[in-house]
Structure 1
Amino acid sequence: MRVGKSTFLTLFAVASLLLLSACQPSGQQPLQKWQHAIEGAYAADIANDGKLSASSSIHHGISLWDLEKNALLFQWSQQQDSADNLVLAIDIADNNSHVLTASRENFALWNATSGQSEGYWRVRESSIRDIAVANDGRFILIGKGNGTVVHVTPATGRRLEFLGHSEKINSVDMLPNGRIALSGGNDFVAYLWDTQSGQVIYRFNHPSRVTKVALDHHGRYAFTADSKKQAHIWDLKTGKLVSSLKYTNRQEVFSSVQFSKDGQLLVTGAPTRKVSVWDISSGERRSSFRVSPRDDIRPAGAVVYSVAFRDNSHILTQSSSGYAELWQINQ
Structure 2
Amino acid sequence: MFRWLLLSLIVLLLVGCSDSESTNPSAKYQYSDALVLRGQLSHDGKQLALVIEGPNLALWDTTSKQVLMSLSETQLPEQIRALVFHKPTKQLLVAGDDLVQFWNTPNGTLQGTLSVSGVDELARVSQLAVSDNGSLVAIGFTDGSVSIANRNTEKMNQFMPHSSNVIAIHIIEDRLMIVTGSHDGVVNAWNLQTGQSYYQQEYTSRLSSVSVSDERDKIFVADSLKTQQVLAVDDGQVLNELEYITRFKWFRQSLFIPKTSLLITSTPKSELSIWDTSSGKEKFSWQIDTHSLGTTLLDMVIVDDTLLTLNSEGVVESWTLSKMIADL
Q: Same fold (TM over 0.5)?
A: yes
Provide TM-score, normalisation by structure 1.
0.80
Specify whether residues 135 and 111 from structure 1 end up closer, same or farther in structure 2 by C-alpha distance, changes over 3 A only.
farther
Specify whether residues 118 and 249 from structure 1 end up closer, same or farther in structure 2 by C-alpha distance, changes over 3 A only.
farther
**Number of the residue aligned with 1:30:** 25
Indicate conservation of the 8 Å contact 2:89/2:134, yes or no: no
- 1:27-71 deviation per Cα after TM superposition (whole angstroms, max 9, x unaligned): 543221122222121112223333333222237822333334444
Distance 2:151 2:112 in 1: 8
Specify whether residues 96 and 65 from structure 1 end up closer, same or farther in structure 2 by C-alpha distance, changes over 3 A only.
farther
| Pick aligned residue for 1:186 from 174, 179, 183 | 183
Indicate conservation of the 8 Å contact 1:265/1:278, yes or no: yes
Distance 2:89 2:246 in 1: 36
Specify whether residues 252 and 103 from structure 1 end up closer, same or farther in structure 2 by C-alpha distance, changes over 3 A only.
farther
| Pick aligned residue for 2:53 from 46, 53, 58 | 58
| Pick aligned residue for 2:264 from 256, 267, 270 | 267
Cα RMSD for the two superposed structures: 2.8
**Number of the residue aligned with 1:218:** 215
Specify whether residues 279 and 306 from structure 1 end up closer, same or farther in structure 2 by C-alpha distance, changes over 3 A only.
same
CA shift for structure 1 position 148: 0.5
**Number of the residue aligned with 1:315:** 307
CA shift for structure 1 position 316: 0.6
Unaligned runs of 5+ in 1: 1-22
**Number of the residue aligned with 2:297:** 304
Superposed, 1:164-243 pairs within 5 Å as 164-175=161-172, 179-243=176-240
Indicate conservation of the 8 Å contact 2:80/2:96, yes or no: yes
Alignment of 1:134 with 2:131, yes or no, is yes
**Number of the residue aligned with 1:110:** 103
Specify whether residues 262 and 306 from structure 1 end up closer, same or farther in structure 2 by C-alpha distance, changes over 3 A only.
same
**Number of the residue aligned with 1:5:** none
Alignment of 1:156 with 2:153, yes or no, is yes
Q: Secondary structure at the match of 1:232?
A: strand
Q: Secondary structure at the match of 2:36?
A: coil
Select the structure of larger CA radius of gyration. 2
CA shift for structure 1 position 136: 4.4
The AA in structure 2 aligned to 1:315 is L
Specify whether residues 92 and 268 from structure 1 end up closer, same or farther in structure 2 by C-alpha distance, changes over 3 A only.
farther
CA shift for structure 1 position 163: 1.1
Q: Secondary structure at the match of 2:153?
A: coil
Indicate conservation of the 8 Å contact 1:42/1:87, yes or no: no
CA shift for structure 1 position 158: 1.5
Indicate conservation of the 8 Å contact 1:148/1:161, yes or no: yes
The AA in structure 2 aligned to 1:307 is M
Indicate conservation of the 8 Å contact 1:90/1:101, yes or no: yes
Alignment of 1:325 with 2:325, yes or no, is no
Distance 1:186 1:220 in 2: 23
CA shift for structure 1 position 122: 3.9
Specify whether residues 288 and 80 from structure 1 end up closer, same or farther in structure 2 by C-alpha distance, changes over 3 A only.
farther
**Number of the residue aligned with 1:92:** 85
Greater per-residue helix proportion: 2
- 1:248-306 deviation per Cα after TM superposition (whole angstroms, max 9, x unaligned): 22333322222222143222223211222222322222222222224xx4xx2222111
Distance 1:89 1:315 in 2: 22
Ranges of 4+ aligned residues in structure 1 off by more than 4 Å: 23-27, 77-82
CA shift for structure 1 position 127: 0.9
Q: Secondary structure at the match of 1:137?
A: coil
**Number of the residue aligned with 1:250:** 247
Superposed, 1:289-300 pairs within 5 Å as 289-294=286-291, 297=292, 300=293
Distance 2:203 2:267 in 1: 19
In the comparison of the two structures, how many residue pairs are matched?
302
Specify whether residues 240 and 33 from structure 1 end up closer, same or farther in structure 2 by C-alpha distance, changes over 3 A only.
same
CA shift for structure 1 position 185: 1.7
**Number of the residue aligned with 1:48:** 43
Query: Larger RCO: Structure 1 or Structure 2 (Cα < 8 Å, ≥ 6 residues apart)?
Result: 1
- Single out whichever of 316-325 and 60-69 deviates more from structure 2: 60-69
Provide TM-score, normalisation by structure 2.
0.81
CA shift for structure 1 position 191: 0.3
- 1:210-247 deviation per Cα after TM superposition (whole angstroms, max 9, x unaligned): 22212223312112111101111212124222222223
**What's the % identity of the aligned pairs?**
25
Distance 1:128 1:200 in 2: 22
CA shift for structure 1 position 182: 1.5
